[in-house]
Structure formats: C-alpha cells, structure tokens
Amino acid sequence: MSGGGGGWRRSGACARCCLVVFAVASALCVSAPALYWRYKKSFLSAAAGSTTTTTTSSSSSAAAVCPPCLCDCPPPLSLLHIAPGLVNLSITDCGKDDPELNEEMQKQFVDLLTEELKLQEAVTKEHTHHMNVTIVEARRLASQYQREVEKCNAATETCEEARERSEAALTKEKRITAMWQRRARQLGWQDS
C-alpha cells in the first residue's frame, strides 16, 4: 500500500509538471509571433523617427529608396481566441476531477512523511536481506573451498609419505643389489 501511494504522488506531480510545461510552451508558441511583430513595428517606427530628427534630407532620400511596405496580413491570433480555457487554468485545478489524485493531494504532511519513511524502511530491509543472502553464500563457498584445501593437503601428505617409503625401499634395494653384485664378483662373475 505504501508503494502504491508514492506512485500516485509521483505520477500526479509528473502530470502537473508536464501540464505546466505544455501550457508555457503553448503560450510561447501562440504569443511569440504577435510579440515579434509588435516589437518589430515599434523598432521600425523608432528607427524612422530618429532618422527624421537628425537630417531631413537623408530621410527623404531613404524614403525614396525604400517605400513603406503595405501588408494585407490579418492580425495575429491571441491566446484568448485560440484556447479560451487555457487562460483561466490554474495549477490548483489540476487533477481535481481525479478522486484518487485529489485524495492523495489532501493527505497531511505527516502522513506523507510516514509513508516515505516506511518505503525507505522496506528498501533498507530488502537491501539487508540481499546482503545476508550474499554473506551466507560467501560463507558456504568459503567452507567448500576449505574442505577442498583440506582434501588436497591430506592427498599431498599421503603422496609425500608414499614417496618417502618408496625412496627408502629403493635405497634398500640398491644396497641389496650392490651386496649381491659384490658376492657375484667374488665368485667370479664379470660385467660384460
């Protein structure tokens, strides 16, 4: 339940933010041409007034060179004509028809803070559980490797003991062989 409330709160905030961005972008797109033409017209009239006050001869020659433009364009549409409901829209009206969003917006700050703390506690518990599982798995692998090491050590000790016994047996056999060779030579046997 705590995760669902946070989702509604985030989606409501996202919806409000998107609506505000859309309203600002729409207002700029609609009113930018009108502002541009108004600014351009006032700039041209201010520039024409400054040239007439400085010198009348240069303005008359400028007027002869560049006649005023006669434009038959319709006036730009205002925001009130395009979207009359958009001007009266306020952020407080956002989502008032959605009962779940309205209920979420009516919650007390303490309730929202408590819900956020519960969500953080759940995330912490999940993180702790994941860490505990990882530690148990690491201990299991460590004990498995320890058993393998003990097996290897036991096998190495067994091999070392067998090598020492075979070395002793080989030394004993060499002594016996040397003794029999001495006896054989004493009895007249010769190496070929």
Cβ-contact 82, 31 below 8 angstroms: no
Closest CA to 86 of 36, 12, 20: 20
The pLDDT value given to residue 60: 46
**Is residue 34 a contact partner of residue 78, using CB atoms and an 8 Å limit?**
yes
Using an 8 Å Cβ cutoff, are 81 and 18 in contact?
no
- pLDDT value at position 119? 94
Taking Cα atoms as reference points, which of 77, 106, 118 lies closest to residue 8? 106
Q: Which two tokens stand for residue 138?
A: 């690491």
Q: Which residue has the tokens 């320890």?
A: 146
Beta strands in 84-131 (DSSP E): none
* Phi–psi pair at 164, nearest 5 degrees: -65, -40
* Contact assessment for residue 115 and residue 6, using Cβ atoms and an 8 Å cutoff: yes
Query: Distance between CA atoms of 179 and 192, rounded to whole angstroms?
Result: 18
- At residue 56, the pLDDT reads 47
Where do the domains of the chain lie? 1-55+76-107
Whether the Cβ atoms of residue 31 and residue 79 lie closer than 8 Å to each other: yes
At 192, list the tokens: 């070929």
Determine the pLDDT at residue 55: 46
How far apart are the C-alpha atoms of 192 and 190, rounded to whole Å? 6
Return averaged pLDDT per consecutive 10 residues of the chain, 192 residues in all.
58 85 87 80 68 48 59 69 59 64 67 88 95 95 94 94 95 94 87 70
What letter would DSSP give residue 40? H
On whether the CB atoms of residues 12 and 104 are closer than 8 A, the answer is yes
